[in-house]
Amino acid sequence: MKLLFIVMDGLGDRPIKELDDKTPLEYAHTPNMDKFASMGMNGLLHVISPGVTPGSDTAHLALFGVDPYKYYTGRGPFEAAGIGLEVKPGDIAFRTNFATINSEDIITDRRAGRIKKGTKELAKLLEKMEIDGVKILLKAGTEHRAALILRGDGLSDKISENDPHVEGKGPLEFKPLDDSPEAQKTARILTSFVMKAKTLLSNAELNISRESQGLPPANYLLIRGAGKAPKVPNFEEEYGLESACVAGGGLYKGIGRMLGMKIIEDQRLTGGTTTDLSAKFDVALETLEKFDFVFTHVKGTDNFSHDGNPVEKMKFIEKIDEELYRFLPENFKNDLVVMITGDHSTPCSFKDHSADPVPVVIYSPDCRVDKVEKFGESYATDGNLGHLLGKHLMGIVLNELRLVHKFGA
């Protein structure tokens, strides 16, 4: 038996007037999700805890059975892992932007004109740097994004950022956020690294040529989101499932990588609202041939919610639904457990995450069916799963996979 776990980011919502007082999910025409709801078990998921608004990072940890209160140390380590850096416990990881600074030390573009090409070569110029015995690893991601790791003894994540978050100002100083010698050392290393990087980047051929073309050079690094890499449980060892992650966004790949899942790298996988959903679910289907557990993440639902656009969110949910026919019992050749939910609610009226629980459906070939016939926030209240915590989801689904998590004789 295999397990497909679909997470639609920011899925949950509130009733909206222009959608006949239904949520985007309830208003959407979703025959496939409704089929899973009618054949499966439904409930409402408090991803972290009732009344607590999840971030996408803490939410996914909880969904994979990893208690974020115990293991979460900031977003940096997951972003770094998502970009492809090998993150080791104890590393201090940061989110980083290539940016543009002028001769008066003013940040004129926080994203270096959303530079498309060449940041990998720029990152190479800074490769294998070591300051005070601390190794510095920088890896470029998409466009202006990069990740930075400090690896060594006596470091701290209690450190402020240098990103002023607005253009037309100088970069901020790195400041220790406590009195520890570790935080002071970390501030010194970052300050020295950023100065060296500025010189090397300013002299890079690519940047000289960008300037001559009137493009903003990627000659500075803005560094934020410090986090000490946690030692998280290994998902495969924990559950005995060979696991894979099908996602476009770096954060989701990073969480999967740190939990020990195989990250499917495929050019067809992209994130956001323009993602090719048909390709993504093709990849998920192919991945199910080789793995027991396939986590598939779709981001667009959250983006439309942050934009406050319920109609586009509703249409996007319909597009996702169209691709789910592959996994219906009549179409999938083996026994498959399907679990569908969101990582949190992002009501279009909030344009931000909320603590509202999200609907969840678990279908397995012989599960105990409830009376719910459609997938949606209000319908799920009648389901036999009741109200659940995110961290209990894996246990419930293991029971469907007949993998026993037993307590007691």
Residues binding Zn ion (CB under 5 A): 9, 56, 343
Q: What is the largest CA-CA distance in the chain?
A: 74
Q: How far is the CB of 305 from Zn ion (least distance, A)?
A: 9
Identify which of residues 163 and 343 has a Cβ nearer to Zn ion in the complex.
343
Closer of 9 and 109 to Zn ion (Cβ)? 9
Give the nearest distance from C-beta 348 to Zn ion in angstroms.
14
Of 9 and 377, nearer to Zn ion (C-beta) is 9
CB of 53 to Zn ion, least distance (A): 11
Nearer to Zn ion, 91 or 312 (CB): 312
Shortest Å distance, C-beta 190 to Zn ion: 29
Taking a C-beta distance cutoff of 8 angstroms, is the pair 218, 101 a contact? Answer: no
Dist CA 186 CA 174 (whole Å) = 9
Report the residue number whose CB is nearest to Zn ion: 56
Cβ proximity to Zn ion: between 12 and 216 the closer is 12
Structure tokens at 222: 């803005």
Of the pair 161, 343, the CB lying nearest Zn ion is at 343
Residue 180 Cβ vs Zn ion, minimum distance, rounded to whole Å? 33
Q: Which is nearer to Zn ion, 47 or 241 (CB)?
A: 47
Least Å from the CB of residue 181 to Zn ion: 37
Q: How far is the CB of 360 from Zn ion (least distance, A)?
A: 15
